[in-house]
Chain A
Amino acid sequence: MISVDGMSAELEAGAAEAEKRLEAAADLDEVRAIDAEALGKRSALTAAKKQLGRLDPGDRKAAGMAINAIRTRLEAAVAAANERIAVGARAAQYDAERLDLSERLSEIRRGSLHLTTQARDRLEDVFVGMGFTIAEGPEVETAWYNFEALNIPEWHPARGSFDTIFVDLGEPEEVMLRSHTSPVQIRTMENTEPPIYIVAPGRTFRTDTADAIHLPAFNQIEGLVIDRGIGLGDLAGTIDEFVRAFFGGDVKTRLRPSYFPFTEPSAEFDISRPDGSWLELGGCGVVHPNVLVNCGIDPEEWQGFAFGFGIDRLAAMRYQLDDIRELVNSDVRFLRQF
């Protein structure tokens, strides 16, 4: 006859021993071995469970409960040991894999958009927001598009002021590098029925020697609106709105009378500096009726305005460039700053 008390004490001692060994176990294999030994088919616990039937029925229930309690305890101890070892192993891995994130031999480098492109994109975006589309045209132009259609006849004193670069095509002075973006106005009006709301960014040319503030090839943006009843007030208001959107709300604008053969009335427009002085930004005016007629648009039905200014200069102003030639030097030390 087996003594219940005797069996319990034996199992208890075995379990305590197993618990002690589990706490000390160094790896998962050892846990697995202890697990098999203490809880497996050949364990004392399993054997004890098999002998329950031979107990006095009165003792059977208490003995069964005791065995289950020990089993539950041991199972928990195994799980705890596994957990302890897994956490330890992960910690060891973390420790072993420590990496200095500043130690890099290669990099994924993003390139840079050219400063002029960035300025041009920003300008385009502002004007798109104001309901304009973007028009483009060739850089090599005929005298018709660069001058004549713009109301600058061959004898006109203003022609000289453009310092035009001519190319060896056609008759002398018949083909040239456009001296302003205004030819795009003409091309647009020739091909589009009003109303017209465009801006035309692009490269223009003058016979200037490159220096800190001049380039023989530079970029301008030109705006043209042709609609019913458009006048100087609309021009002033549009420039105001653009300047607010581009430079910020505090910047004021003013128009001063000026002269361009292709607009009348004509004006220069200035923007205010923080110190209250004025900076001349560009030229503008109400489209001259001769220009409309040259493009087959009836000046009695349609009126419009045009304005233009330099893009490179805006880019240069924004970053306070001291030498505008950097824009064309392709020096990577410059390009990567933006």
Chain B
Amino acid sequence: MKVTLSWLREFAPGIDGDPVELGEVLSSLGLAVEEMDVVGEMVDGVVLAKVLDLRPHPDADKIQLVDVDRGDGQALQVCCGAFNMQVGDLIPFATVGTVMPNGMEIAQRELRGQTSNGMCCSGAEIAMGDDHDGILILNDRVVEGAVLGMPIGEALGMEADILWDLEVNANRPDAMSVAGVARDLAAALGVPFSFPDYPITTTREDVDDLIDVTIEDPTLCGRFVATVLRGISVGTSPAWMQSRLSQLGMRPINSVVDISNYVMLELGQPNHTFDLATIPNGRLNVRRAHDGETLVTLDDVERSLVPNDGVITNEGDEVISLAGVMGGATTEISDSTTDVLLEMAWWDPPSISRTVKRLNLPSEASTRFRRGADWGDNIDRAMRRFIQLAAESGVTAVEGFIDVAGETPDRGALPVRTAKVNSLLGTTLRPDEMAGHLASIGFGAELDRGDLLVTVPTWRWDTVTETDVAEEVGRMFGYANIERTVPKGTVAGGLSDYQKDRRLVRDVLVGVGCDETLPMPFLAPGDLVRAGLPENGITLSNPLHAEESVLRTSLLPGQLKAIAYNQSHRAAGVRFFEIDHVFLPAPDGQLLPDEREYLAVALAGSEATAAVEVLDVLDRALALPNVQLKPASPAGLHPTRSAEIVIAGRTRGHVGEVDPTVLEAYGVEGRVAWLELDLGAVLEGPHGNRKYTPVSKFPSSDIDLAFVAEDSVAASAIEGSLRKGGNPLLVDLELFDVYRGQGVEEGSRSLAYRLRFQAADRTLTDAEVAAARESCINQVAKKTGAVLRA
């Protein structure tokens, strides 16, 4: 909502002072100033001039020569690039020496041999609108008494003014008008606020003889006020009105529409005009639409209606207007209109909201109805204001208003406990102080045994409860005046174990040289399939872009895109990790997806074992129970270089390398080692149990054993057998060499282990070590078929 200082002062002349400070007061009232501007200040040196002659430039096609009179009766030649002027037109003219708003100084110049003595101005050039193309023609916009050579601001009746663009929240229907903002500001400044009288004269015709209105659905329409205006002729509105409308961001259209908008901006009451001749017998009815009904609205679009929509119908029960949202084409004012039915109503906000949303038809009028317009005297006031403004162009109203009532939201006196208000605000205000704050903005507040009985004014549809009233008290008391305290409760803060472990996982991964990434969680259709995964991602209903229309079920596609992106910027060997949500299809009978927190590690340029090493480090950091790699070919991964991660008997993820087919599809070069864990399940599962074993004080014995094992036998199987065979004396085991080649059969390899035997309570004898060695060899042979290398 935009307001100007001069307009505010029409309701509260006491509003005065430094515009910046006034802006601060507005912000402190909850009317945040988004922008402040000085408007109506015209460029010095730009004057009103008249076009005397137009002729072609002898040596140039794109400019013409213009003779103007700028008040001295002389013809002054100017070269001009615009061709929209006629002889006799009044235009803004920048004389030589004028400094334009863009900083350019107008000088006398030669253009292809012709002298130019100034500049004819477009609207944009003098900050009057955004039209750059043509010269601004002012023929019907100058004030009475304007003469050639007059400064342009004066000629247009404009005065410098302050404009504030305010952010008005949805709970402030009252502040959707100049008068409403003035009321709030006047209260905060402690200056008087009042509405001017809008005296009107009427014809002797009785409105009841001309129109007849019924409200069939009182839940839709709280009040319907109407009258008839005679002698309408659609022309242009006066310069001062056009100027104010433009300042507040509304384009002047014609004398009828402009008055309608002016009254709405000034008093907050939207209104509608029907061509009376198009309404048989002046009969109107207000009801909800029936299924299947349609209406061609003012914008010539045929709208299908549904039963919630509020409509106005004619005598024949035909829909002629979409109540509070948009009028119908058949009853629109035209150039031939002479008599008008003027309507001002109060519409049920939720009903209007639903229709606006369904038809996507927001407007200045419906925005006010949606927030809750004033159902009280303001409607009558707005009627009178409309009639008064129209009278200036010779329009007369008939006697009286039709005023039909539906259900208005009058709620009676609201009991408000002052102790609760003080508790909610953290204040110690007395009841009379609260009443004073409320009264300053038009609330009735009666003291009632230490509490208040509050009458909410009709312009505050939003205010229904005690809490709503508390907010108004706080607003007028001033949030800045509330004493700042901190809650006295004693609760221990902290991270949960899960949150601590998640931080640990991040730190561990950073420690092994991985950079954390947080790419967007959206995928494009096909991304999952290209990653070798099922295309079962949940889709968005209203994505802005198709590339962001699917929710990920795996972190793989996002990481592959990240790697490809970095490779395209010559960063080949990135090591990334990500901890974030994935969205698996909703389990049967549930509405929401199976949302999980996953961990992914992607090591570009590394083989599968690098990812397993990272898993080992995580295992050590978290003390995971019994981590096993189960041979598998997980979707999207290299079928012979990947495994399932089984923790305490449950599959919790995959480790290995990304399938080369997938890498190719994503344009990734080289190998990518990959680890993906259902981190949420892992951290919620058992882990972190560590047991103390005393460190032996006796010497240990090391032996080396090399086995020849077929490639199909996993090293982990041999290790498992060694541990079993060496139990309990085997305290350490390390694979230190893998050899393929001469001396080892094709399809097998030699695996060399160093084993350390030690007892807690004694020095081992040679015989004990030999027996343990033998047991290890036998166990390996029995379980895996691998034999000791000769």
A contact residues vs B (CB 8 Å cutoff) = 108-114, 116-117, 121, 124, 127-134, 138-142, 153, 155-158, 160-161, 165-170, 172-175, 177, 195, 197, 203, 207-209, 215-217, 225, 227-238, 240-241, 254-259, 261, 264-268, 286, 288-289, 303, 327-333, 335-336
Query: Which residues from chain A contact B491 at a C-beta distance below 8 Å?
Result: 131, 133, 195, 197
Query: Which residues from chain A contact B576 at a C-beta distance below 8 Å?
Result: 330
Provide the bound-state CA to CA distance between A3 and B419, in Å.
125
Task: Indicate which residue in A112, A131, A225 contacts B510 across the interface (CB closer than 8 Å).
Answer: A112
Task: Add 12 more A-B contacts to A167-B540, A209-B545, A217-B521 (CB < 8 A).
Answer: A124-B495, A128-B493, A130-B493, A134-B496, A155-B351, A165-B542, A233-B427, A258-B32, A259-B170, A266-B169, A330-B518, A330-B566
Query: Which residues from chain A contact B499 at a C-beta distance below 8 Å?
Result: 124, 134
Interchain nearest-CB distance for B178 vs A (Å): 20
Query: Which residues from chain A contact B569 at a C-beta distance below 8 Å?
Result: 331, 333
Provide the bound-state CA to CA distance between A235 and B424, in Å.
10
B510 x A165 contact (CB < 8 A) = no
B493 x A114 contact (CB < 8 A) = no
Within 8 A of A (CB), among B1-55: 27-30, 32
B518 x A110 contact (CB < 8 A) = no
Stretch at the interface among B260-268, B401-409, B473-481: B473-481
A227 x B489 contact (CB < 8 A) = yes
Query: Which residues from chain B contact A110 at a C-beta distance below 8 Å?
Result: 510-511, 513
Task: Indicate which residue in A225, A231, A235, A327 contacts B423 across the interface (CB closer than 8 Å).
Answer: A231
Secondary structure of the A contact surface, majority rule: mixed
Contacts A217-B522, A257-B475 known; A155 to B592 CB distance under 8 Å?
A: no
Contacts A167-B551, A197-B489 known; A117 to B494 CB distance under 8 Å?
A: no
Counting from the closest, the 3 A-B pairs by CB-CB distance are A233-B426, A257-B30, A259-B169
B542 x A113 contact (CB < 8 A) = no
A233 x B506 contact (CB < 8 A) = no
Provide the bound-state CA to CA distance between A89 and B543, in Å.
76
Within 8 A of A (CB), among B479-528: 479-480, 482-487, 489-496, 499, 503, 506, 509-522
Contact with A along B357-401 (1 / 0, CB 8 A): 100000000010011000000000000000000000000000000
Contacts A256-B32, A330-B517 known; A111 to B511 CB distance under 8 Å?
A: yes
Contacts A195-B489, A227-B489 known; A117 to B482 CB distance under 8 Å?
A: no
Contact with A along B576-588 (1 / 0, CB 8 A): 1100010100100
Contacts A117-B518, A231-B423 known; A256 to B30 CB distance under 8 Å?
A: yes
Provide the bound-state CA to CA distance between A173 and B496, in Å.
34
Query: Which residues from chain A contact B506 at a C-beta distance below 8 Å?
Result: 113, 117
Contacts A131-B491, A156-B353, A236-B479 known; A172 to B486 CB distance under 8 Å?
A: no
CB-nearest residue of chain A to B581 = A139
B371 x A157 contact (CB < 8 A) = yes
Provide the bound-state CA to CA distance between A76 and B551, in Å.
85
Query: Which residues from chain A contact B541 at a C-beta distance below 8 Å?
Result: 165-168, 172-173
A254 x B480 contact (CB < 8 A) = yes
B521 x A256 contact (CB < 8 A) = no
Provide the bound-state CA to CA distance between A103 and B196, in Å.
87
| Interface core residue of A128, A229, A231 (most chain B CB under 10 Å) | A231
Interchain nearest-CB distance for A74 vs B (Å): 42
Provide the bound-state CA to CA distance between A330 and B521, in Å.
13
Interchain nearest-CB distance for A288 vs B (Å): 7
Query: Which residues from chain B contact A134 at a C-beta distance below 8 Å?
Result: 495-496, 499
A117 x B425 contact (CB < 8 A) = no
| Interface core residue of A114, A130, A288 (most chain B CB under 10 Å) | A114
B437, CB-defined interface residue at 8 Å: no
Provide the bound-state CA to CA distance between A139 and B354, in Å.
27
Query: Which residues from chain B contact A108 at a C-beta distance below 8 Å?
Result: 513
CB-nearest residue of chain B to A176 = B541
16 contacts between A and B (CB under 8 A): A116-B518, A130-B493, A140-B551, A153-B350, A155-B349, A167-B539, A195-B489, A216-B520, A232-B426, A233-B483, A236-B426, A240-B484, A257-B29, A264-B468, A286-B424, A332-B515
Provide the bound-state CA to CA distance between A280 and B595, in Å.
33
A165 x B424 contact (CB < 8 A) = no
B493 x A131 contact (CB < 8 A) = yes
Within 8 A of A (CB), among B53-96: none
Interchain nearest-CB distance for B613 vs A (Å): 14
Interchain nearest-CB distance for A8 vs B (Å): 55
A258 x B484 contact (CB < 8 A) = no
| Interface core residue of A132, A140, A177, A267 (most chain B CB under 10 Å) | A140
Query: Which residues from chain A contact B513 at a C-beta distance below 8 Å?
Result: 108-111
CB-nearest residue of chain A to B362 = A160
Provide the bound-state CA to CA distance between A172 and B516, in Å.
36
Query: Which residues from chain A contact B565 at a C-beta distance below 8 Å?
Result: 329-331
A128 x B32 contact (CB < 8 A) = no
B540 x A165 contact (CB < 8 A) = yes
Interchain nearest-CB distance for B491 vs A (Å): 5
Task: Indicate which residue in A112, A232, A261, A288 contacts B479 across the interface (CB closer than 8 Å).
Answer: A232
Query: Which residues from chain A contact B427 at a C-beta distance below 8 Å?
Result: 231, 233
Contacts A241-B486, A264-B471 known; A111 to B353 CB distance under 8 Å?
A: no
CB-nearest residue of chain B to A129 = B493
Task: Indicate which residue in A169, A209, A286, A336 contacts B593 across the interface (CB closer than 8 Å).
Answer: A169
Interchain nearest-CB distance for A304 vs B (Å): 9
Task: Indicate which residue in B370, B479, B519 contacts A257 across the interface (CB closer than 8 Å).
Answer: B479
A335 x B517 contact (CB < 8 A) = yes
Interchain nearest-CB distance for A200 vs B (Å): 12
Provide the bound-state CA to CA distance between A327 and B517, in Å.
8
Provide the bound-state CA to CA distance between A156 and B171, in Å.
11
B539 x A216 contact (CB < 8 A) = no
Task: Indicate which residue in A117, A225, A303 contacts B424 across the interface (CB closer than 8 Å).
Answer: A303
Within 8 A of A (CB), among B421-438: 422-427
Provide the bound-state CA to CA distance between A139 and B509, in Å.
25
Provide the bound-state CA to CA distance between A275 and B513, in Å.
41
Query: Which residues from chain A contact B562 at a C-beta distance below 8 Å?
Result: 330
Query: Which residues from chain B contact A174 at a C-beta distance below 8 Å?
Result: 591
Within 8 A of A (CB), among B520-556: 520-522, 538-545, 548, 551
Query: Which residues from chain A contact B485 at a C-beta distance below 8 Å?
Result: 233-234, 237
Provide the bound-state CA to CA distance between A329 and B574, in Å.
14
CB-nearest residue of chain B to A161 = B170
Query: Which residues from chain A contact B475 at a C-beta distance below 8 Å?
Result: 257, 265
B32 x A268 contact (CB < 8 A) = yes
Interchain nearest-CB distance for A147 vs B (Å): 13
Contacts A238-B486, A257-B29, A332-B515 known; A165 to B543 CB distance under 8 Å?
A: yes
B575, CB-defined interface residue at 8 Å: yes
Within 8 A of A (CB), among B311-353: 349-351, 353
